[in-house]
Amino acid sequence: MSQMTPSAQQPVPYGGTSNAKYCQKCGAANDPNAPYCANCGASNFGAYPGGRISRPVGVTILAILQILGSLVTIIAGLTFGALFGALLPGLGAVLGLGLVALGVVTLLIAIALFTGRNWARILNIILAVIDLINFPVGTIIGIIFIIYFTRPRVVAYFKQPRTA
């Protein structure tokens, strides 16, 4: 039942300009005069190295694994298409091209994850939710993914203002 004093200024999220100060708990950019973080309420402010939030290690590892997996899918599709395209004209080529297309799409998502695009984070959460029905391995991996991709530090990395 905490009541805000009428004079208390409610800090607003800051647009990430050069004089913004960064919350050390969640990474949100705040007004330089804010007494506490507008995003999470923490009062520990400071600067992340270079004023930017670095890519979390888990995101780097996951993106590289997804890039490798998509390349394997593309190679498998090309091989499949070449082998079965001769045996089953039409169907073999369609299946091969389908695999190649799937590989290209997952490659684009993996690169987007690596470069910090927030839609790639959201897409990974959606896929993790779908994966929950694959009990038990998919359920466990899905829960880990959902928890990881909604952690404040990870969310802050994907939501920080882009420089380029």
Minimum CB distance to Zn ion, residue 103 (Å) = 39
Torsions phi, psi for 9 (to 5 deg) = -85, 130
Minimum CB distance to Zn ion, residue 97 (Å) = 47
Comparison of 28 and 74: residue with beta carbon closer to Zn ion: 28
Q: 101-135: string of b/e by CB count within 10 Å (b at 16+)?
A: eebeebbebbebbbebeeebbeebeeebeebeeee
Select the span of 17-25, 69-77, 111-119, 136-144 touching Zn ion (CB under 5 A): 17-25
Interface with Zn ion, residue 25, by CB under 5 A? yes
Comparison of 24 and 139: residue with beta carbon closer to Zn ion: 24
Residue 90 φ/ψ region, left for φ over 0, alpha for ψ in the -120 to 50 degree band, beta for the rest:
left
Interface residue with Zn ion among 37, 59, 99, 120 (CB under 5 A) is 37
∠ CA(48), CA(119), CA(53), 5° rounding?
A: 5
Interface residue with Zn ion among 40, 127, 129, 130 (CB under 5 A) is 40
In 3-state terms, what secondary structure has residue 115? Answer: coil
Interface with Zn ion, residue 42, by CB under 5 A? yes
Task: Summarize as ranges the residues that interact with Zn ion (CB under 5 A).
Answer: 23, 25-26, 28, 37, 39-40, 42
